[in-house]
Amino acid sequence: MAENKKAPKDFMKKKMYDVTITLDPQDLPEDQRKKKIKNVGLIGEFLFYRSNLKDHTDEVGMVEQDQMFPPASYEEGMSSIAGRYYKEMSWNRSKGVYEITLRLPAGVYAYGFVINGELVEAKMENPLAMENLMTKDGAFHSLKEETPWILDPKNMPYAPTKDGCQLKSELYVGSPEEVSQLPARDPKVKGTLTYISYDDILGEVRTMGVYLPAGYDRNGEYPLILASHGGAGNEVDWFSQGGLANIMDNLIAGKQTEPAIVVTMNNSVYDWDFAMIDQNVIQCILPLLRQLFAVTEDPMRMAYCGLSLGSMTAMYTYMHHPERFQYFGCFSAGYAGGEGFTLENPRLKDVTLMIGCAEEDISYNERDIGTPPTIRALKAKGLPYIPYFVPGSHDWFCWPEMFRHFAQEILWK
């Protein structure tokens, strides 16, 4: 097992900010404006917990479901975690808007609004179910009737492709010096993000996201990182919810990683047929990238990473193509066994694998697809790996940090 010799970034201590969120009823969709508004509630991922993580090499495997806290109960050292917070907004008559102010640590938070929501007591047999909402007093409730989130009309999610829908508005709090997935301050260090169409393995027109670093030179030769989303995701997830382009901008500007081309694809359209996803990359994506962009052909300068089902995709690629990629990042899933998954390839001892998850992660379990059994399978075969465990759960609070570590501390070493 390779040691993680560099200390992890300290993202447990963060500056606090008073954040005011508003909603002007005149900005609502027409069908919502016609309704008589009785109340407006803010709903979002504004929950926190006290991490028990001792270091970044734990492999025991346990989801403890620690107590979660609302923003008003936040204390220094707490970490963000997936879960929904609800609070009714106040009507500001002079401004003609609904508003609310939360005190939050630096970070990125998904949120939306609920119109005329009515809370009832949560089903206590599973208070942490995603349909349940924590209120200011720390109690759990749920909506009496299922009510769709209203996106912030002044902060709509980024959805540039027909399949790349994003379902929540994103609130940025703080600075890129505190949280790497926040946009860089200097426009000169920002790379470009485009979405291009291509013909996939099934003969269908699909889309992939392509990040080119600032100062991109068509006559150069750049390392390549392929990044897969998770279940029900799409090619926009990493760049929208994950802030991947921002992470790369900030790391490159700080000379903490090399300028690289990063590509995302939509693997949900293949129903997670790992062999088909694999061949789509090999036969369709890589040849087109090398035709259009200054992408290296050197396997030592190529990486593949993914989260959740995308992590299993990365693991499949690791097992089948260690001759094509030198670096692999498996975030929040593994695969100790199963059809098409084998650790017998002798080349696996020569590549670099980072694997890990969050401490409250559903991947932190004893199923074959769990991270701990996969790590034990690697150890049994004597295969090198780099563990990296972080606070949080199976969520977008954990995965950007895992990618940051992968890009900054693992790649191109």
The pLDDT value given to residue 3: 42
Specify the pLDDT at position 7.
Answer: 37
Instruction: Count how many Cα atoms sit within 13 Å of the Cα of residue 14 in the half-sphere of its side chain.
Output: 25
- Is 252 strand, coil or helix? helix
Query: What does the pLDDT read at residue 125?
Result: 62
Its pTM stands at 0.95
CA distance 16 to 350: 44
* Distance separating the N- and C-terminal Cα atoms of the chain: 16
Q: Which residue has the tokens 């946009």?
A: 183
User: Which has the closest alpha carbon to 115: 153, 82, 81?
Assistant: 153
pLDDT score recorded for residue 1: 39
E-strand ranges in 36-137 read 40-44, 47-49, 68-69, 79-81, 84-88, 90-92, 97-105, 107-115, 119-121, 132-134
Fold classified for 180-410 = Rossmann fold (3.40.50)
Rounded to the nearest angstrom, the gap between the alpha carbon of residue 24 and the centroid of all alpha carbons in its chain is: 30
CA atoms within 13 A on the CB side of 223: 19
Residues of the chain with CATH 3.40.50.1820: 180-410
- Given 3-state DSSP classes, what are the helix, strand and coil percentages for the chain, each rounded to the nearest 5? 20, 25, 50
Q: DSSP letters of 257-317?
A: S---EEEEE--GGGTT-HHHHHHHIIIIIHHHHHHHS-B---GGGEEEEEETHHHHHHHHH
Helices (H) and strands (E) in the chain, counts: 8, 21
Instruction: Show pLDDT as tens, one digit a residue, over the chain (413 residues).
Output: 344 434 344 445 689 999 999 999 999 988 888 889 999 999 999 999 999 888 888 778 776 778 999 999 999 999 999 999 999 999 999 999 999 999 999 999 999 999 999 999 887 666 556 788 999 999 999 999 888 889 999 999 987 887 888 989 999 999 999 999 999 999 999 999 999 999 999 999 999 999 999 999 999 999 999 999 999 999 999 999 999 999 999 999 999 999 999 999 999 999 999 999 999 999 999 999 999 999 999 999 999 999 999 999 999 999 999 999 999 999 999 987 778 899 999 999 999 999 999 999 999 988 888 999 999 999 999 999 999 999 999 999 999 999 999 999 999 99
* CA atoms of 413 and 159, how far apart (whole Å): 34
Distance CA(234)–CA(316), nearest Å, equals 19
Q: What is the pLDDT of residue 9?
A: 47
pLDDT at position 397: 96
pLDDT of residue 352: 98
Q: CA 407, 408, 410, 412: dihedral to nearest 10 degrees?
A: 80
φ and ψ of 211, to 5 deg: -100, 125
